[in-house]
Amino acid sequence: MPRHAPVKEFGLYLSAMYNMMDEQKLSKEQAMTTLRSWLPPGKQPKAVQKSLRRLDACLDEPSLHYLLGQESLRLLDLR
Over residues 14-45, the pLDDT tens digits come to 999 999 998 999 999 999 999 999 999 999 99
Domain that holds residue 55: 5-75
Do 26 and 20 contact (CB within 8 A), yes or no?
Answer: yes
Q: What is the predicted pLDDT for the residue at 79?
A: 65
> What is the DSSP secondary structure assignment for residue 5, as one 8-state letter?
H
Q: What is the pTM of this model?
A: 0.87
Number of domains in the chain: 1
Kindly write down the DSSP assignment for every residue of 14-76, as one continuous string: HHHHHHHHHHH---HHHHHHHHHHHSPSSPPPHHHHHHHHHHHT--SHHHHHHHHHHHHHHHT
